[in-house]
């Protein structure tokens, strides 16, 4: 199987590629690096001059991706790495590419070359996660992240899709893990009732042979606290304080995911949540 790694040649994209290479080396995957480009508006009225500018930009992309892959290959000589440039918009072309070959997952960063500040979820990443037919592993722009996962946090609302996402993770990472079931409940719900429901749901998770141990992380939304009044912020605090290495997010958590793009939440997540996230496939 292969891991599909899009790049815009940013530092975060290279961090994501290194993560993918570590994973590939550990589990005998190959990598395919891909860069999408669009025709550049040169501002020249002369079509021939504009064409020269376009060819020049394409040549630069060809040279850059080769240098980029050569650097990655030298660090991981045992990993088979292929690459190509392709014309198209990332959010349209990448999901199509993901359907073409035996790709296990997309691995990509959260912050692109065009970002002028570090927000946790880049807009391109959001679009890919929403459209991808295969799982997406999202890598934040932080120091080196180990691919050996000891404990994952599974966001749960007691849905079947969450178990499918856990199965996808196990299939790709091929290792035993501890699983923390993360659930945020409304302030007017009884904690004991939520706890009992989570105990019942945990049985489904313990049925996985790869799951060594499960525990529960639950917390209410706190409306009176203006700094901790959203589900993403409460989750980020739980993850930050319980040694979770990677977060599993299923396609049913659409509302949660969309709220991550609000600027106020994104800023809070930058400070608190610096962990890779594994998104289940959407199709």
- What is the per-residue pLDDT across 88-117, written as a single tens digit (0 to 9) for each? 888 889 999 999 888 999 999 876 555 444
The answer to whether the CB of 2 falls within 8 A of the CB of 99 is: no
**Cα–Cα nearest to 166, from 213, 204, 109:** 204
Instruction: Please give the torsion angle defined by the CA atoms of residues 153, 155, 160 and 165, in that order, rounded to the nearest 10 degrees.
Output: -50
Q: Give pLDDT, residue 128.
A: 86
User: What whole-number distance in Å separates Cα of residue 36 and Cα of residue 94?
Assistant: 8
Q: Are both 224 and 246 inside the same structural domain?
A: yes
Cα separation of 108 and 71, whole Å?
A: 18
Domain stops at, among 118, 139, 160? 139
Nearest partner of 152 among 185, 174, 181, judged by Cα: 181
User: What gap in Å lies between CA 155 and CA 160, rounded to an integer?
Assistant: 12
Residue 258 tokens read as 């969309």
Q: Are residues 163 and 118 part of one domain?
A: no
Same-domain pairing of 98 and 52: yes
The model's pLDDT over 123-181, given as tens digits with 9 standing for 90+, comes to 677 788 888 999 999 888 765 677 778 999 999 888 899 999 999 999 999 989 999 99
Do residues 9 and 128 share a domain?
yes
Model pLDDT, residue 111 = 66
- Please say if the pLDDT value at position 43 is more than 80: no
Residue 145 placed within a domain: no
Q: How many CA atoms are closer than 13 Å to the CA of 23, on its beta-carbon side?
A: 29
pLDDT bin (cut points 50, 70, 90) of residue 55 is low
Average pLDDT over residues 22-43: 80
Q: In this structure, are strands 81-87 and 30-37 parallel, antiparallel, or unpaired? A: parallel
| CATH number of the domain encompassing residue 265 | 3.40.50.620
Measure Cα distances from 258 to 112, 119, 194, 232 in Å: 19, 14, 24, 10
**pLDDT given for residue 122 in this prediction:** 56
- pTM for the full model? 0.83
Residues 59 and 108 both lie in one domain: yes
**Of 142 and 28, more confident:** 28
Question: Would you say residue 34 has pLDDT above 90?
Answer: yes
Report the percentage of the chain scoring pLDDT > 90: 36
**Model confidence band, residue 237 (pLDDT cutoffs 50, 70, 90):** confident
Question: Which of 70-74, 117-121, 216-220 has the lowest average pLDDT?
Answer: 117-121
Burial label, 18 (beta-carbon count in 10 A; 0-12, 13-18, 19+): buried
Query: In this predicted model, which residue has the larger pLDDT, 225 or 237?
Result: 237
Q: What is the mean pLDDT of residues 185-194?
A: 77
Residues 216 and 120 in one domain: no
Please say if the pLDDT value at position 81 is more than 80. yes
Between 236 and 122, the higher pLDDT residue: 236
- Strand order of the sheet with strand 2-6? 81-87, 30-37, 2-6, 103-109, 136-139, 277-279, 246-249, 151-155, 177-185, 211-220
| Domain ranges, residue 57 | 2-139
Residue 198 lies in a domain: yes
The answer to the question of residue 221 being in a domain is: yes
Asked if 202 contacts 181 with a C-beta cutoff of 8 angstroms, the reply is: yes
Select the more confidently predicted residue: 28 or 219.
28
For residues 167 and 154, give the distance between their C-alpha atoms in angstroms, rounded to a whole number.
Answer: 11
Q: How many domains are contained in the chain?
A: 2
């Amino acid at each position: 199987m292969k891991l599909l790694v899009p790049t815009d040649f940013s530092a975060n994209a290279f961090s994501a590629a290194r993560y993918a290479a570590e994973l590939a080396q550990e589990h005998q995957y190959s990598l395919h690096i891909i860069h999408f480009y669009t025709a550049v508006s040169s501002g020249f009225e002369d079509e021939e001059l504009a064409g020269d500018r376009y060819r020049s930009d394409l040549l630069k992309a060809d040279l850059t991706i080769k240098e980029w892959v050569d650097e990655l290959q030298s660090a991981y000589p045992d990993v088979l790495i292929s690459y190509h440039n392709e014309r198209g918009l990332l959010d349209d072309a990448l999901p199509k590419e993901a359907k073409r070959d035996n790709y296990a997952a997309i691995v990509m960063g959260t912050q692109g070359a065009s970002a002028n500040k570090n927000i946790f979820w880049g807009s391109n990443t959001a679009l890919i996660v929403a459209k991808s037919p295969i799982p997406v592993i999202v890598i934040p722009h932080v120091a080196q992240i180990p691919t050996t996962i000891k404990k994952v946090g599974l966001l749960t609302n007691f849905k079947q899709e969450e178990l499918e996402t856990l199965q996808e993770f196990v299939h790709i990472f091929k290792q035993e893990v501890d699983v923390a079931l993360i659930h945020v409940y409304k302030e007017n719900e009884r904690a004991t009732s939520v706890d009992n429901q989570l105990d019942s749901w945990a049985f489904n998770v313990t049925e996985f042979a790869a799951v060594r141990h499960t525990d529960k992380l639950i917390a209410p939304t706190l409306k009176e606290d203006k700094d901790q009044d959203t589900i993403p912020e409460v989750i980020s605090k739980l993850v930050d304080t319980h040694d979770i290495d990677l977060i599993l997010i299923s396609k049913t958590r659409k509302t949660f995911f969309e709220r991550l793009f609000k600027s106020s939440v994104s800023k809070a997540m930058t400070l608190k949540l610096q962990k890779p996230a594994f998104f289940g496939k959407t199709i």
